[in-house]
Structures are given as structure tokens and as C-alpha cells.
Amino acid sequence: MSTTVGRLVRAELKLMTRDPLVLTFVFAFPIVTMLIIGGAFGTSPDPAFDGTNPSHWYVASYLTVVIAATGLVMLPVHLASYRERGVLRRFAAAGFPRWSFAIAQLIVGLLTTAVACALLLAVAAPVYGIPAVHDAWRVAVALPLGAVAFVSIGVLLGSVLPSARAAQAVGLLLFFPSFLLGAGGPPPHVMGSIVKQVAGPLPLTLLTNAVRAPWLGLGTATGSLIGVAVLAVAATAVAARRTAL
Amino acid sequence: MVVDGLDLDVPAGEIVGLIGANGAGKTTTVECIQGLRKPDDGRLRVLGFDPVTQAEQLRPLVGSQLQSSALPDRLRVAEALELFSTQRARDGGELLGQFGLTQRRRSVFSSLSGGERQRLFLVLALLNRPRLVILDELTQGLDPAARRTVWDAIRQLNDEGTTVLLVTHEMDEAEALCDRVAVMRAGHVIDAGAPADLVERHASTAVIRFSMPDPPAQLLDQVRRLDGVREVTRSGARITVRGHRRIVAHVCAALVRWERVPDDLAISQPGLEDALLGLLNGDRDEPAAAASVNGELIGGRR
């Protein structure tokens, strides 16, 4: 069966590189917004950014934007449009087990995230510089865990939402508030208390904390990391149940 | 419940057609056979396997061309072949050539015309040397030449020993290809048999049409009373006579006797379409054309 998954992953990867939604939303959008907002607050250490360089704060935050764009927008729209148009039926009739398609999406989602993150860092490096990583071990655990969590959420949303349009609407509705409150928007210190309370428990906020704090030396963010780990396990389990035949 | 108590045997090596009105349950049946849908009850064996619990063994042996399904828009034709090829696959390039798609190898799915898509689905259905091929609305959207190509391919496939289950609304297709036809209504098979047998059983009505300006009333009256004539209608100069097949000789003889031989006399013998309509209308043995005739009824015994 590994060849089945292999054939699916190969085809899906080729298709990803031809999909304008993926190219704009997962690759271009985080880079462009990172360049804009990373330059908006200057490069001098700022108390609003926990005394760090605001540009570095945003560089360390934006890898999770890529992860959220993949999980909340790209995968749900992709999967829902496949189901809507009968592509999944055709795969099923041709003997591809449903789980093989879910695994292929997981692999493709993780690979897309990895490539988009690398690209984002490559663009950030000459412009703002890449901040030194204080606690590489924690960052290295948080990023893949977060990617698994969001890709699983994406597979789950894609299996629940009835059409590509519905997936796009729900996906964007989940993505933009998460993006503004939890990763790419204003730092928590300048947020009002209500907004801060809403932002705190959002999955993307937890993930961004778990990556940014150890990266910039602002703490261990163990609580956030545990939250992300629980989310990853739960979302993967539910997604696997939904997509198993 | 779409399909209830369906009894359908598809003998190995035959081409069996599944026909019936829209919503009769044909596609549901085909989906159950492929394991895409789970029957609530009953026993279903396809090539000796249960399509739901033994899907992994069964699916490699079944090739299908599904109704209302698609491929990813940006997938190229050659990539589709690569994606769907298993170890059993035959030469994809040869199949593309057979169905006139060689020039489209590098084209993406969304740029293919309706007919090209149908042909590609057929290529994919045949790709892995299936023992059973399920074709749902096989030639929908194909031009007449492409239809003939597809029919030839199906016959050739059948000659090689492959069993074919054909879901179709095209009665000429069923007549041309099928060894046996099963007619479905409201989830049941209401009759099955060779196309010729079904016609014999359910459509013995022949239709004769000719033009005759100012036909003598006595002539029409005589025709109406001929043995086997069921109905004579007139619309302007057009006269239509319906009845059992034997009326053909009688009506022609009457016209010759009256020396009113029309130039445009046309005879329609019943076909599978008439048999289907007869069956679906509860065996009233109405000919296919009856539904569309708006003539003045000038005689008949209903």
C-alpha cells in the first residue's frame, strides 16, 4: 500500500505547485505581511515586544502563520473541492483506501509547510535578519507538533465541510482572527484585556507562544507547548476516525 | 430506500445493461457493487467478494467509469495514468492511442472537452486489466464517431473475457452492445433478458406513418377496422397508424387496393426503447412515439 500513498503524494505535490490558492496564501501571503509588519515598528528593542527587536519578534512569529494558512485554508478548500467534484469518489472506486488519501494529505501538508517556512526565513534573513534561537530544542519540538495539529484540523475541516465555497468561508473566518490575535497582529501587551482573553486560548496563539518564547529567549512556554501537543493528538485522532473507512 | 430487494445476476463474460427511468436506482446499485455504498441488507457478491468487507481484494479487479466524478483540474492526462496505474496496468500510451488522446498527453484535465474526459475515464477504467468493468453513462457527450470507437473497444474487451456492466439511457447502445438487459423501476429489476426478448415481450406495437392530403373517410375507416390496428390519428396531411406488427401488411394492402399509394410511407418497428417505455408504463404496450403525437384522434380502440 505504500506505493498507493507514494503515487498519491507525488501527484498531490505536483498539483500543489500549480494551485494559485496555495502559492498565494501559503507562500506569498505570510512573506508579504511579515515584510510589511516587520518593518512597521522599527528594529530598536521595544517594551511592547517584551524588550525584543520588533522585526525579530515578527520573524519568529510568522512560521506559525504558514502552518495556520496550510491547515485552516489550503487543506479544507482542497479536500472539500475534491469531495464536491467527485474526485474522492473516483479515488475510492479506483481502489485508493480513504486512509491513504488522508495520509497523503498529511505528508503533503507537512512538506508544504516546511518549504514555505524555509522560503519565509530565506526572505527574512537579508531584510531583518533571523534572530538567534535561544532554545532550539523547544522550537524544534513545537513547530512539527503545531504542523501536525493544524494539518489534522485541516483534514478534519475538509472532511466535514460540504463544498469548496463553504470551506473557504469557514477557513478564512477561522484564519484571519487567529492570524491577527495569535501571530501576525499586534503584540499581546498592547491588546485590551478582553481581546487578550479571547486571543489567549486560540490554537494559533498557543503555537506561536510555544515557538516564539523559546526562540527569542522570553521563557519556556511549557504550558503553550503542552496545549499544542494535546491539540495535535486530539485533532489527529479525530481526523483519523473521520477518514478511516 | 432507493434500491429494495434487487435481484441481479451478471454472468461472467457477458455484457449486461442496466436500464430504467431516472431515479430507478441504477447508480445506487452500481455504487453498492463497487463498495462505495453499503447495502442495509441482502447478499451481494462481486467476483466472489463482498464489496464492503473485502474492498481491498475486489477493487483492483474492477474498472469503473463513474457518473458525476472528476479528476483534479490541474492533473495532466499522462499524470492521471501514472496515478491510477497499479502493477497489473497495461500500456497506458497504447490505450490513449486507441481512444484518440495521444495528442492530449500533456493537457490538464480542466482543458479537456466533455468527450475527451469521458474517453479518459474509459482509459482509466480499462488501465489495470479489470475482470469486471462498470460503465455508467458510457457515451454521454460523445460525438457519433467517438461513440463507435468506444463501442468497438467494449466489444473487444468483452471478447478478451472481461465482464461488462453498462448503465445507460441510450437504448441503441444497449441494443448494440448488451447480451442481456435488466430493466429497473423504483429500486427493483422488473424484467431482464436479451434485448430482442424484451422487445418481443413488451413492445409489439408497430407504427406506420404516411402523408395523404384529403384521405377518403372510408379508407381511414377501413384501416381503423383492420385486424390488429389500435389507433389511427391524423394531423393535417400526416396519418399515423398504430397496432400489432401484423398491421403492416394489412395497411399496405389496403392502400394499394384504394390506389392511394403514398411516396413517404415509413414503418417503425418497436425497439428496446418501446419495450422500456412499455415496461415502465405498466405494460400498456404504448409505442415510443405515442407520447409525442399531438394529432387529432380519428379512430381507435383503447
DSSP per residue, A43-61: SS-BGGGTTB-HHHHHHHH
Mean pLDDT of chain B: 82
Burial tier of B283 (Cβ tally within 10 Å: 0-12, 13-18, 19+) = middle
- Could you give the ipTM of this predicted complex? 0.82
Closest residue in B to A19 (Cα–Cα)? B74
Spatial distance between the Cα atoms of B71 and B277, rounded to a whole number of angstroms: 35
Which pLDDT value is given to residue B184? Answer: 85
Q: Is 50 exceeded by the pLDDT of residue B299?
A: no
Report the sign of the C-alpha dihedral through residues B124, B126, B127, B132, in that order.
Answer: positive
Question: How near does any CA of chain A get to the CA of B74, in Å?
Answer: 6
pLDDT of residue B6: 66
In the DSSP assignment, the letter for residue A183 is T
Cα separation, B233 vs B178, whole angstroms: 35
Task: Specify the pLDDT at position B148.
Answer: 86
Give percent above pLDDT 70 in chain B: 91
The CA distance from B225 to B219, in Å, is 10
A14, A19, A93: residue with CB nearest B36: A93
Per-residue pLDDT tens over the stretch B104-153: 999 999 999 888 888 898 899 889 888 899 888 877 778 888 888 888 88
Which residues from chain B sit within 8 angstroms of residue A14, using beta carbons? 75, 79
The DSSP code for B210 is E
Give chain A's residues under pLDDT 70: 1-2, 243-245
Confirm or reject contact between B150 and chain A (CB < 8 A): no
What average pLDDT score do residues B263-286 get?
77
**What gap in Å lies between CA A174 and CA A190, rounded to an integer?**
22
Q: In angstroms, what CA-CA distances link A227 with A58, A135, A142, A147?
A: 22, 18, 10, 13
Q: Please tell me the distance in Å from B128's CA to the nearest CA on chain A.
A: 10
The residues near A16 (Cβ < 8 Å, ≥ 6 apart) are A22, A108, A112
* Alpha carbon distances (Å) from A173 to A127, A168, B299: 31, 8, 70
pLDDT band at B69 (very low <50, low <70, confident <90, very high): confident
- The rounded distance, in Å, linking the Cα atoms of B195 and B275 is 9
Q: How far apart are CA A49 and CA B231, in angstroms?
A: 93
The alpha carbon dihedral of A69, A74, A75, A76 has a sign of: positive
Which of A198, A145, A154 shows the shortest CA–CA distance to A175?
A: A154
Residues in chain B: 302
Q: pLDDT tens digits for A183-235?
A: 988 888 888 889 889 988 999 999 999 999 999 999 899 999 999 999 999 99
pLDDT (0 to 100) of residue B9 = 74
* Cβ under 8 Å to B: A residues 23-82: 82
pLDDT at B2: 58
Per-domain residue ranges of chain B: 15-193, 200-300
pLDDT band of B4, cuts 50, 70, 90: low
Residue B293 banded pLDDT, cuts 50, 70, 90: very low
What fold does the segment set B200-300 form as a domain?
Alpha-Beta Plaits (3.30.70)
The residue among B73 and B205 whose pLDDT is bigger is: B73
**Sequence-ordered list of residues with C-beta below 8 angstroms from that of B295, at least 6 positions apart, any chain:** B233, B234, B235, B238, B240
| Cell matching residue B210 | 404516411
Out of B59, B68, B74, whose CB is closest to A95?
A: B59
Range B231-254 average pLDDT: 89
Instruction: Give the three-class secondary structure for B182.
Output: strand
Q: Kindly write down the DSSP assignment for every residue of B54-105, as one continuous string.
A: THHHHGGGEEEE-SS----TT-BHHHHHHHH--TT---HHHHHHHTT-GGGT
B15-193 CATH fold: Rossmann fold (3.40.50)
pLDDT above 70 for B230: yes
B109 within 8 A of B75, measured Cβ to Cβ = yes
A245 contacts on B by Cβ (under 8 Å):
55
Q: CB-based contacts of B277: which residues, under 8 Å, 6+ apart?
A: B203, B286, B287, B288, B291
Q: How far from A179 is each of A33, A73, A194, A223, B60, CA to CA, in Å?
A: 11, 12, 17, 20, 45
Predicted confidence (pLDDT) per residue in B156-170, tens digit: 888 888 889 988 888
Q: CB A90 to CB B66 under 8 A?
A: yes
**Residue B15 confidence (pLDDT) above 70:** yes
